[in-house]
Every structure is written in C-alpha cells, then in structure tokens.
Amino acid sequence: MTSLEKDNIFVILKTKYLAMHFDLPIIQPTVKGRGAMINTQNRFSNEVRDEKPWIWDWEGEDINLKTQFIDTYPKTIVNKVDSPDVGLEYSLNPYQGCEHGCVYCYARNTHPYWGYSAGLDFETKILVKRNAPELLEKLLKSKTWQGYPIMLSGNTDCYQPIEKQLEITRSLLKVFLKYKHPVGIVTKNALILRDLDILKELNKHKLISVAISLNTLDEDLRRVLEPRTSSVQKRIETIRALSKEGIPVTALAAPIIPGLNDTDILPLAKKVSEAGARRLAHIVVRLNGDLAEIFTNWLEHIYPDRKEKVLNKIKSLFGGKLGSSQFVERMKGSGKIADIIHQQFDMAKKLYMLKDEKFQYNLDLYRARSGQQLELFA
C-alpha cells in the first residue's frame, strides 16, 4: 500500500467518524488538479464503476489522484475525419485521454470506447501510443498517401503534461519535417515552444499552422475549468513567441460557455491580436453524451449559485437541450444568445484585424516514396 493510499484511508475514516459522532455534514469533495469530480458509467460495459474514486475531503483538504499511463500499440495512427464542420480531413492522436482535465472537453466521450469512464478516468488513465512516429513514417512512405494536411491532435492535446517527458509529439514533428509534409497543431500548452526549432523549419516551407486554444482571460476561472493547462498569460506569451517567428497562429476561443466566459470575447480578441494572432475562431460549448452529467456535477461543486443560469443558457443554444450532434449547429448553436456571441466575434475580428480565412499549406514539397531516405533538416 502506497503512502497516498494510506493517507486516503485515514481521511475516509476521519470524515466518517466525525460525521457519525458529531452529526456533521460531509463536505463536497474537491479533487486537486482535476476537472471532473465523478466517474460516469461506461455505456459499453456492464461493470458498475466506482462513481467517486477519491476520498471525501474534510475542511477543504484536497484529494490527490495519481495519473496512470498505459502503453498501447495501434496498427495505424492517422484517422480520417468525416465531420464536415471540423475543418480538417485527417487527425493524429499520440495520446488518448488528457491530463489537462478540461471539464467541458468533447473528447471525454471517446474514452468509454477504450473501456474507461469519460469522467475522472479520462484525466487519470492516459493511453500512450509510443509507436506513433514509426506508424506515421510508414504512412508517409506509402505510394498511395496523397499528402493531405494532418492535425495534431483533433481529439486530446498532443502537448499535455506527459509529452514533456516522452517527446512523442516532438518525434512526430521530426517525421513531418523529414518528408516535408504539412501539419497543423491545436494545443493549450506552452510546451509547444520547446519544439520551436522544428516549427521554424516547417514554417520555412509553409508546412505548419498552430491554433492556441484560449477561452478566458480570468485566471481563476481557467484554474477550475482547465486545471492542468498552461496559464492564460503563458498562452498569450506562446502566441507572441510563435508569431514573432512568422508562424501563423489562430486564437481558438473554445468553448464559449454563456454565463461563464462569454463576457471575455472582446478583451480576449484584443489580447490575442496584440500578441500577433492572425486569425480568431470560436466554438460554443456542447454537452453531448456523458458531458451533461460531468459538467452539471462540476457546476454543483464550483459554481452552485450559477448552475441553473448557466445550464439554461446552454440549453437556449440547442433548442432546450444541453447539446447537439447536428453538424454546424453543434459548433455554433442557434437562438438569441448564440446570435449575440457570433455578433461579438464578428465585431472583434473587425476591430482587431483578425482574419477568417484558413491557412493554405504548401502541398507541393511532400515527397513520399517507399524506401526513400531523406535527411531531417534537408
């Protein structure tokens, strides 16, 4: 038994004893550095999961949950994206699950396919694809591959904390550069600046674009909404550092959650524009699948006084529901509040000279010949 497990048992016993003998209420639990507060039931499994795999805290004590990293070895690594409203055709995810812990993350709903919960499991049980660089190189060598831009990641963040140690994403970027293949990156993590040397080389050939996700300027909100992401200031600095090198950067305000961060739109646009972002894009929050339960529970813990107001505003985006699976509508919503959000972004783009058009990759340099040997920094 580890020392953490012993500490957890002690807190359980202490809490139960005090509650039983002194008729004191059990305080709502706080899971330190995590977004979700519960594990939702895996709809693909008959096994009843432990809904609350933490220890009830007492007098504000935070509970630590250790992250498990699980090696997995897929046979292919690039996925075809069939959604017409995403703006990309192919994605590559070196990790499944994400330690960033963003409570609203749509990718949570993919974790049950791997046998885990969309809740705390999504943040604490991370599948690692160590063979991703080899699989990518195999694809790029194929005579049938046409060199379509590939997005890192499209699902979970390729620069989540464990990447600092494993460097799988860095190895992938080396492969993209080796074959002069176009790649896009979406991340919330300033760790991307570690790979600035490779990004600059890719940018020389118009092979790279970066989207930095930033949906609020309120650091207190960021800490509870996206607990293990880079701070607001670090993300602004990341936009500035990338832009300084001429790398095209999109500021992705996603998701906009009415009642929580929708008042930040204009000041956020001003900040990212001043930092050098060329483009501003946004998505409204959608609580499909298990996200409805996870996010509602999170509101009960973090913003109980705002819970009903926020949920009702989200429902107004989707005709009385908390989300939608309809293409386009799921990203934009509809109705009065959705219109106000879109109008603010339209105004922000005009005020701060932020463009709408997508980056045009250079597709001509891609050289994929089976068995061809290319130097890394050719």
> Which of 231, 229, 228, 274 is CA-nearest to residue 251?
274
Residue with tokens 């999504």: 122
C-alpha atoms less than 13 angstroms from C-alpha of 142 in its C-beta half-sphere: 14
79-152-148 Cα angle (round to 5): 60
Domains of the chain: 67-351 (3.20.20.70)
For residues 349-355, average pLDDT: 93
Q: Is the pLDDT of residue 45 over 80?
A: no
For residues 128-153, average pLDDT: 95
pLDDT of amino acid 254: 96
Q: Is the pLDDT of residue 160 over 90?
A: yes
For residues 204-216, average pLDDT: 97
Q: Is the pLDDT of residue 370 over 50?
A: no
Within the chain, residue ranges assigned H as helices are: 3-22, 120-124, 132-141, 163-166, 168-178, 196-204, 219-225, 232-244, 265-275, 291-302, 307-317, 329-332, 336-351
Contacts of 187 (CB under 8 A, 6+ apart): 157, 158, 159, 210, 211, 212, 213
335-269-259 Cα angle (round to 5): 40
Please report which confidence band the pLDDT of residue 367 belongs to, taking 50, 70 and 90 as the band edges.
Answer: low
Q: Is the pLDDT of residue 64 over 80?
A: no
Give CA–CA dist 98/109, Å, rounded: 12
Give CA–CA dist 336/312, Å, rounded: 13
Please report which confidence band the pLDDT of residue 304 belongs to, taking 50, 70 and 90 as the band edges.
Answer: very high
Least confident span in 20-34, 152-166, 223-237, 353-367: 20-34
- Order of all β-strands in the sheet with 95-96: 68-71, 125-128, 95-96
pLDDT of amino acid 49: 52
Please report which confidence band the pLDDT of residue 150 belongs to, taking 50, 70 and 90 as the band edges.
Answer: very high
Q: Is the pLDDT of residue 273 over 60?
A: yes
pLDDT of amino acid 65: 82
Least confident span in 51-65, 142-156, 184-198, 210-224: 51-65
